[in-house]
């Protein structure tokens, strides 16, 4: 593999981590959804580049699925859900943005140290992709645990899955049927989550997890 191919793959995977930090920084739902769509577009570019350098045409299908579902269909659907439910558009966080960003940087450092140490014999491109993919996955988890709004937690879950796709495409030999199965599993999960959001909104008149805890008597 040439230096240019490696550098471009490295740039795209690193950009995905950067956009994850942009999602972590957002405090408004619509802005978060727009950045999530950008996350999907960067993932699409990364997967398409992997298809090119690995000479694996089936990865173009994975890229097309990511662009259609995560770059367009799911963000548009979440925009409509927010509009129909009349959800408060300011995102409430568990801790401050500064602390969250510091935690995110620590997780990225941890991902690099762990993955580069445990994969010394692997292909250099696969090693870098796995390290960046673990960073994206952990940042998605961080979004889920530091946000009180259910919609923002859904976005964290979807971005977490983007890290799994990056890891899968970086590892050569992933069957197309597995990638399509994962994509449709995520779509079904999104539909189920959407239905639950409507049901929760109808029952409790809110989707804020802090308010739901109060209904359960877990907060004073």
pLDDT confidence of residue 154: 81
Model confidence pLDDT, tens digit, residues 141-190: 898 888 877 778 788 888 888 888 888 787 665 565 556 556 666 666 66
In angstroms, the CA 101 to CA 98 distance is 5
Backbone angles phi, psi at 93, to 5 degrees: -110, 155
pLDDT confidence of residue 220: 47
Closest CA to 139 of 118, 112, 163: 163
User: Which residue numbers in the chain have pLDDT < 70?
Assistant: 1-2, 87-89, 171-220
pLDDT confidence of residue 103: 92
Q: Which two tokens stand for residue 141?
A: 């988890």
What separation, in Å, do the N-terminal and C-terminal C-alpha atoms of the chain show?
Answer: 59
pLDDT confidence of residue 80: 83
- In 147-208, alpha helices (H): 150-170, 176-204
């Amino acid at each position: 593999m040439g230096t240019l191919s490696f550098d471009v793959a490295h740039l795209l995977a690193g950009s995905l981590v950067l956009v994850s930090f942009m999602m972590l920084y957002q405090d408004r739902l619509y802005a978060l959804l727009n950045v999530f769509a950008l996350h999907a577009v960067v993932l699409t570019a990364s997967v398409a580049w992997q298809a090119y350098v690995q000479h694996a045409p089936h990865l173009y299908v994975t890229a097309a699925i990511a662009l259609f579902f995560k770059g367009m269909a799911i963000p548009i659907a979440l925009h409509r859900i927010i509009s129909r439910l009349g959800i408060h558009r300011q995102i409430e966080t568990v801790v401050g943005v500064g602390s969250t960003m510091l935690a995110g940087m620590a997780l990225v450092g941890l991902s690099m140290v762990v993955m580069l140490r445990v994969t010394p014999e692997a292909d250099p491109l696969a090693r870098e992709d796995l390290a960046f993919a673990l960073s994206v996955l952990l940042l998605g988890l961080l979004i889920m645990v530091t946000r009180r709004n259910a919609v923002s937690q859904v976005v964290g879950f979807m971005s977490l899955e983007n890290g799994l796709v990056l890891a899968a495409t970086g590892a050569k030999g992933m069957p197309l049927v597995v990638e399509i199965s994962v994509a449709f599993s995520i779509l079904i999960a999104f539909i189920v989550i959407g239905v639950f959001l409507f049901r929760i909104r109808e029952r409790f008149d809110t989707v804020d997890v802090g308010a739901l805890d109060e209904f359960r008597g877990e907060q004073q």
